[in-house]
Structure 1
């Protein structure tokens, strides 16, 4: 029985490893590519992919010989999203914001040391041909991430930089703890974050933190788009008010009660000479 149990666990681990090979950059894969990515033999991969195909987790194209994720994974993903309190509280609010600003709107929550996108909507000025749901992004190089970091304890932010997670994506990416400390102080003072070409050239975003019942920052909401569409020099004040209002609406839906002074609770500021 122990041997059988071990074999079953190994099969599950291998199946999960195969499914994890599919991502935004690798949405269709050949058997040989799955073997190279997992280190599994061709016969093992072929057998397991055939089983996953029968269960609807993957689909094999007879024309190209490429596997892609199947409808069963879509069902599971939808169930997972619908079980998220942040997604349920924020989906319609995010959609309304995209429509009123004509920009893209992203809703994401903290997952370990990364952002996890729950949903996105496109305005006319920031179209996308793909969904952001299920993707991840770094905290230090996005407006959403910096909005989340503004509510994290000092030790968390320091550890993030000490663990060398703050890798550069463009020359504008913040990679030093003291620079991030100054940025987070500004975010806390004005209740929103900006990101201008820190993750990708030609794009910018403005984001506000979302708080749970206890006041802890659990997620963030952003408007984003090409520099010409978001036009922060002329639209920053208006967009910041809209994003803060929408994020606060989601926070209230999650059970957060704003303080009478209107000031959000936050951890002690990082000293400007940290790191």
Structure 2
């Protein structure tokens, strides 16, 4: 994963910035407000997005990143703090995301039909296999995680719900691309960044990989986004047969042991995706 810090570039009025960290991939923060929107609200939202890398920020760094004056930044930060959207450390005077966002984020997850349909199923599967399980959707050209569960062979000390990963470098991304017409994929994805030697960086090769997912019903990723990581994913379909999301079984490559267990884990992924899809109204059987 590339590292970086929001606001490291000094520009007077940047139109956007890239936040990098637990989001998994660069997160674009648009500093321009489209017509018909309230400028102060847009600035406040842009400030919140600066924290997408999970790191605390100083007022001066926030002002520089947002391209606004420090006094304006201070007033907006005070407003966000009073609303519970930000917290301030009185000793170091650093800001971080506040508890109200946990409440709002939890509400957003709980109202998402795919999260509700998949949560218990994936939790049970993680316990059964001892590996990680995840569910994600396509959002703004990225894989957006809705939930993740860990088994003892794939532990984590943090949640990846809300993280964004690149579509072309992940097994779930290739499943999600089944819902995007081939002629639209290149424009949506742009340049395919290389994360490891195994990353697909050619759109023609990516389309072939997606066709293979459609043929066999699952996708595999070994070392494509992060070295030593592997996963097996399957698409989740909705009541119309469209792609509602994707689920994956993931963990260290040494835990998945795909050289011996790929068929077994693929069967689990396909069956689990179909179970989740049936909760969304998907009834078509696989051939």
TM-score, with length taken from structure 2 = 0.84
Matches within 5 A, 1:192-207: 192-207=218-233
Please state how far the C-alpha of 1:160 moved relative to its aligned partner. 3.7
Structure-2 residue corresponding to 1:21: 50
- Rounded to whole Å, the distance in 2 between the matches of 1:151 and 1:12 is 33
Question: Could you tell me which of 101, 117, 132 is aligned with 1:73?
Answer: 101
Please state how far the C-alpha of 1:63 moved relative to its aligned partner. 2.0
Question: Could you tell me which of 68, 77, 92 is aligned with 1:40?
Answer: 68
Deviation sequence 1:41-89 (CA, Å, 0-9, x none): 1111111111111111101011221111111111111111111110010
Structure-1 residue corresponding to 2:183: 155
Matches within 5 A, 1:129-168: 129-160=157-188, 163-164=190-191, 166-168=192-194
- Rounded to whole Å, the distance in 2 between the matches of 1:26 and 1:79 is 20
Partner of 2:144, secondary structure, is strand
Structure-2 residue corresponding to 1:267: none
Please state how far the C-alpha of 1:225 moved relative to its aligned partner. 0.8
Ranges in structure 1 where 5+ consecutive residues have no aligned partner: 1-5, 264-275
Question: Could you tell me which of 157, 161, 170 is aligned with 2:196?
Answer: 170
Runs of 4+ in 1 over 6 A off after TM superposition: none
Deviation sequence 1:193-224 (CA, Å, 0-9, x none): 00110001111111000001100112000011
Structure-2 residue corresponding to 1:11: 40
Please state how far the C-alpha of 1:156 moved relative to its aligned partner. 2.4
Distance 1:47 1:160, change over 3 A: closer
Partner of 2:135, secondary structure, is strand
Partner of 2:241, secondary structure, is coil
Question: Could you tell me which of 76, 87, 94 is aligned with 2:122?
Answer: 94
Structure-2 residue corresponding to 1:116: 144
- Rounded to whole Å, the distance in 1 between the matches of 2:180 and 2:208 is 14
Please state how far the C-alpha of 1:11 moved relative to its aligned partner. 1.5
Please state how far the C-alpha of 1:158 moved relative to its aligned partner. 3.9
Please state how far the C-alpha of 1:141 moved relative to its aligned partner. 0.3
- Rounded to whole Å, the distance in 2 between the matches of 1:181 and 1:59 is 44
- The answer to whether structure 1 residue 222 and structure 2 residue 248 are counterparts is yes
- Rounded to whole Å, the distance in 1 between the matches of 2:234 and 2:208 is 17
- Rounded to whole Å, the distance in 1 between the matches of 2:141 and 2:79 is 34
- Rounded to whole Å, the distance in 1 between the matches of 2:66 and 2:272 is 43
Partner of 2:159, secondary structure, is coil
Structure with more relative contact order (C-alpha pairs < 8 Å, separation 6 or more):
1
Indicate the structure (1 or 2) with the bigger Cα radius of gyration.
Answer: 1
Structure-1 residue corresponding to 2:20: none
Ranges in structure 2 where 5+ consecutive residues have no aligned partner: 1-34
Coordinate RMSD, CA, aligned:
1.5
Please state how far the C-alpha of 1:167 moved relative to its aligned partner. 1.3
- Rounded to whole Å, the distance in 1 between the matches of 2:84 and 2:142 is 29
